[in-house]
A and B are shown apart, each in its own frame.
Chain A
Amino acid sequence: MPLRPKLEARDIARTLAATAAITGLIATAACGSRAGEETVAAESCVDTSGDTVKVGALNSLSGTMSISETTVRDAIYLAVAEINAAGGVQGKEIEIVAEDGASEPTVFAEKAEKLIREDCVAAVFGGWTSASRKAMLPVFEDNDSLLYYPVQYEGLEASPNIFYTGATTNQQIIPALDYLAETGVESLYLVGSDYVFPRTANAIINAYAADHGIEVLGEDYAQLGSVEFSTIVNQVSASGADAVFNTLNGDSNVAFFREYANVGLTPEEMPVMSVSIAEEEVGGIGIENIEGQLAAWNYYQTVESPENAAFVEAFKTEYGDERVTSDPMEAAYNSVYLWAATVEKAGSFAVADIQANADGVSFASPEGTVVINGDNHHVAKTARIGEIRSDGLLYTVWESDGPIEPDPFLEGYDWAAELTVTE
């Protein structure tokens, strides 16, 4: 696919857009007397009268999260290029306005505002950390614009202005627990980084465990970025738990798994179920330290389907053979297609029309069919447990019977009733 030349054209477009934005700024500043009229912010400035429609890509291209978010950015560009090659949306070519969130929630909010107000984009794709999403949420609600957020997260949220295309807890954590329970695990040790996602995840795990007769033998949190896991691993080892549930994030995983393997703990003896380790992270940990361990996601590069074969091939052709595809990338890729499909169904780029028509919109994605739930703006997804094998890829060892309906507030689970109330 001749994507490269397009990329260059896009760069030029981006420069032009930036120039236009600056010119616009100057113009606005010059007409100070009209500032009063400008305050009607909710009035969308999206212009779809031409041959193109603008969307925003807001990912961290610098800072600590750039490791993960640049891969998501790549997937967004791929989806946009494919849709354009197939004729665009409503016959219009999609034009990306890219911004750098710089791993800072405040920058995400600022850039989101800029994309909506100055670039007049029809929708924004991106965000990764929950902190960045929480920071952008009021911006999208106040300006009545749309954000497509592609990463699994801790649930307990449903904004009319956000579409969540990654998993919520009942599509990742609960299936992982079901799987562990099925394989005879009766006791767990919980290890996580100290921030909102692991804390929420572990609250859910504790409630699940209490209801299902699983004993939680310990719960430990390490500072984000911590690399000292000696004590935690010793305690895990001494606990004699049947399995470990790992919600560590980033570099901490490297230190944790090295320590884990070095004290002689094996996946046969005490498997570790991780929810933040995908294909990208395995390389840095070292396959000899993590082979045989488990992960819970909705998508792996190895998923066997014609859609995935095409996706992986297109991605590798575009970005290089050594690259891998992962769950958040796939969810970001899907998000662009889901937006395009919703626009086609609504016959309009207007936010209200997209919200009204989103329910039931589906896409035959690499992970299988995903369907938007119009009530909570999440998507129905298939849950998969993967095992890390010697080639560094994850292979499905268990999957749910078809897509699981999203339930961000866990209303369908009796044992979670108290959780939802306290939140």
Chain B
Amino acid sequence: MDLFVGQLFTGLSTGSILLLAALGLSLTFGQMGVINMAHGEFIMAGCYTAYVTQQVVGDAGVSLLIALPIGFLVGGAMGLVLESLLLRRLYHRPLDTLLVTFGVGLVLQQVARDVFGAPAVNVTVPEPLRGGVDLLGTTVPKTRLFIMALAVVAVAAVTLVLRFTPAGRRIRAVVGNRDLAETAGVSSRRVDAGTFFIGSGLAGVAGVALTLIGSTSPTTGQSYLVDAFLVVVAGGMGRIKGAVVAAVALGTFQAVFETYSTASLAKVGVFVVIVVFLQLRPQGLFTLRTRSLA
């Protein structure tokens, strides 16, 4: 029983990792409909940002705190470049976008390999985050608690920005009905760039945080990409709320299922559940009702 309760907590923790990886994607893919296969590489860029910052700063704790905002800027800047150089020309051509961003992802992986070398590099975990805390009969690593807290903060920040700032209102307006928003004087081009900046920046932040539990190597981003898409699709396109619920549900399901079978089988189970779920509810958990005419 203890193990079961512990696993629920593990599920929450796994969910928060999924959420952190998927949050940026729920903006770029969910809201804008861009299939960005390079999202994983933006996460990887965040990982290397944490690594470089640590090499420069030295102190692991301080560098982690500095790296979070830098990671946001690095990821965001890469997203901005990708959007303005390539994606802008490819809106309404989702298949081309998929191929182009996949290619960009491969290029970024090779760049990382050339700059940092193929072997994984080590980002040292700060002293206060080492070890674990006993919770409900299981030991929870502090790094995971940190990631959960960060996921909560990130979701809160995105929600606040979308709901209460002028920029957020413009984003929601363009997602709701692009033509009408433009008629009302909103520059959809600038909004697209801004949304992509925030979404990619969040990938950078996720990358910085994920160095605490995972590896930092050129292929790191690949391990999060599929799960991130899964979360966004299951949660329903365009809804942050959907991503949150889907991430926690998938994380918990994976953790509990894994306890009674194996990790590989649990993964299969997750996919089966999602396939069945999407058959019944193709639009995902939550639907965004738009006023667009198309």
B213 in contact with A223 (CB, 8 Å): no
Chain B residues lying within 8 Å of A255, measured Cβ to Cβ, are 213-215
Interface 9-mer from A48-56, A180-188, A230-238, A409-417:
A230-238
Asked whether A264 and B223 contact (CB < 8 A) given A220-B263, A231-B255, the answer is no
Q: A66-B118, A255-B213, A263-B132 are in contact. Are A230 and B219 (CB under 8 A)?
A: no
A251 touching B223 in the complex, CB below 8 Å, given contacts A228-B14, A262-B143: yes
Can you name the residue of chain B whose Cβ is closest to the Cβ of A218? Answer: B262
Contact B122 A223 (CB under 8 A): no
| Number of A interface residues in the complex (CB < 8 A) | 40
Flag whether A254 is at the interface (Cβ < 8 A): yes
- A221 interface hit (Cβ, 8 Å): yes
Q: Contact between A234 and B214 (Cβ–Cβ < 8 Å)? A: no
- Docked complex: A257-295 residues within 8 A CB-CB of B: 258-259, 261-264, 280-281, 283-288
Which of B3-11, B64-72, B95-103, B201-209 is the contact stretch?
A: B3-11
CB distance from A324 to the nearest CB of B (A): 10
Cα of A287 to Cα of B266 in the assembled complex, Å: 31
A64 to B254, CA, bound (A): 26
Q: How far is the CA of A235 from the CA of B121 in the complex (A)?
A: 28
A70 at interface by CB-CB < 8 Å: yes
CB proximity to B under 8 Å, residues A194-249:
194, 219-223, 225-228, 230-232, 234-235, 237-238
Contact A67 B264 (CB under 8 A): no
For residue A280, which residues in chain B have a CB less than 8 angstroms away from its CB? 119
A305 is an interface residue with CB less than 8 A from chain B? no
**Which residues of chain B from 9 to 50 have a CB within 8 Å of any chain A CB?**
10, 13-14, 17
Nearest-neighbor residue (CB-CB) of B7 within chain A: A231
* Residue among A230, A237, A261 making CB contact with B14, cutoff 8 Å: A230
CB distance from B113 to the nearest CB of A (A): 7
Residue A317 lies at the interface, judged by CB distance under 8 Å to chain B: no
Does A62 sit at the interface, judged by CB under 8 A?
yes
Determine the chain B residues whose CB is within 8 A of the CB of A253 once the complex forms: 215
Residues of the B chain whose Cβ atoms lie less than 8 Å from the Cβ of A220: 262-263
User: Given A225-B222, A234-B138, A263-B139, A258 and B125 touching (CB < 8 A)?
Assistant: yes
Q: Which of B119, B132, B141 contacts A284 (CB 8 A)?
A: B119
For the complex, give the distance between the alpha carbons of A238 and B1 in Å. 12
The answer to whether A284 touches B7, judged by C-beta atoms less than 8 angstroms apart, is no
Nearest Cβ in chain A — how far from B17, in angstroms? 7
Cβ-based interface call for B267 (8 A): yes
Let me know if A263 and B254 touch, CB within 8 A.
no
Residue of B nearest to A263 (CB): B139
Q: Evaluate contact between B122 and A227: CB separation under 8 angstroms.
A: no
Q: Which of B13, B119, B223 contacts A226 (CB 8 A)?
A: B223
Q: How many residues on B have C-beta within 8 angstroms of the other chain's C-beta atoms?
A: 48
Residues of B within 8 A of A223 (CB): 263-264, 267
Q: Are A221 and B17 in contact (CB under 8 A)?
A: no
Is A262's CB under 8 angstroms from B7's CB? no
Known: A67-B217, A284-B121. A235 touches B131 (CB 8 A): no
Q: Which residue of A lies closest to B120 (CB)?
A: A284
Cβ of A231 and Cβ of B267 under 8 Å apart?
no
CB neighbours of A230 from chain B (8 A): 10, 13-14, 144, 255
Residues A67 and B119 in contact, CB atoms below 8 Å apart? yes
Q: Is the CB of B263 within 8 A of A226?
A: yes
Which residues of the partner chain B approach A66 to less than 8 Å between Cβ atoms? Answer: 113, 118
Q: Are A259 and B213 in contact (CB under 8 A)?
A: yes
Nearest CB on B from A97, distance (A)? 23
Output the least CB separation between B258 and chain A (Å). 4
Query: B63 at the A/B interface (Cβ < 8 Å)?
Result: no
> Is there contact, CB below 8 Å, between A221 and B264?
yes
Q: Tell me the complex Cα distance, A287–B219, Å.
A: 21
Question: A residues within 8 A CB of B140?
Answer: 263
CA A258 – CA B146 in complex, angstroms?
15
Q: In the complex, which residues 119-150 of chain B have their Cβ closer than 8 Å to any Cβ of chain A?
A: 119-125, 130-132, 138-144
- Tell me the complex Cα distance, A227–B216, Å: 11
The verdict on A234 contacting B264 (CB below 8 Å), with A225-B222, A262-B131 known, is no
On chain B, the residues within 8 Å of A194 by CB distance are: 263-264
Tell me if B187 is interfacial: C-beta within 8 Å of chain A. Answer: no
Residues of chain A within 8 A of B17, CB atoms compared: 228
Q: B residues within 8 A CB of A237?
A: 139
Contact, CB under 8 Å: B132 / A262: yes
Instruction: Provide the bound-state CA to CA distance between A278 and B216, in Å.
Output: 17
Task: Decide: B217 and A231 in contact? CB cutoff 8 A.
Answer: no
A221: chain B residues within 8 A (beta carbon): 262-264
Q: Taking A258-B125, A262-B125 as given, write out 19 further A-B residue pairs in contact, using a Cβ cutoff of 8 Å, ordered by the A residue number.
A: A66-B113, A66-B118, A67-B119, A221-B263, A222-B264, A223-B264, A231-B255, A237-B139, A254-B214, A258-B143, A259-B141, A262-B130, A264-B139, A281-B120, A283-B119, A283-B122, A284-B122, A284-B216, A288-B125
21 A-B pairs with C-beta separation under 8 A: A62-B110, A64-B219, A220-B262, A220-B263, A222-B264, A223-B263, A227-B214, A230-B255, A231-B266, A232-B258, A234-B7, A251-B217, A261-B130, A262-B130, A262-B131, A262-B141, A263-B132, A263-B141, A264-B131, A284-B215, A285-B120
The interface of chain A, by Cβ under 8 A from chain B, is: 62, 64, 66-67, 70, 194, 219-223, 225-228, 230-232, 234-235, 237-238, 251, 253-255, 258-259, 261-264, 280-281, 283-288
Contacts from B to A (Cβ < 8 Å): 3, 6-7, 10, 13-14, 17, 110, 113, 118-125, 130-132, 138-144, 210, 212-217, 219-220, 222-224, 254-255, 258-259, 262-264, 266-267
List the 7 closest A-B pairs by CB distance, nearest first.
Answer: A284-B120, A254-B215, A262-B141, A67-B118, A227-B214, A251-B215, A286-B122
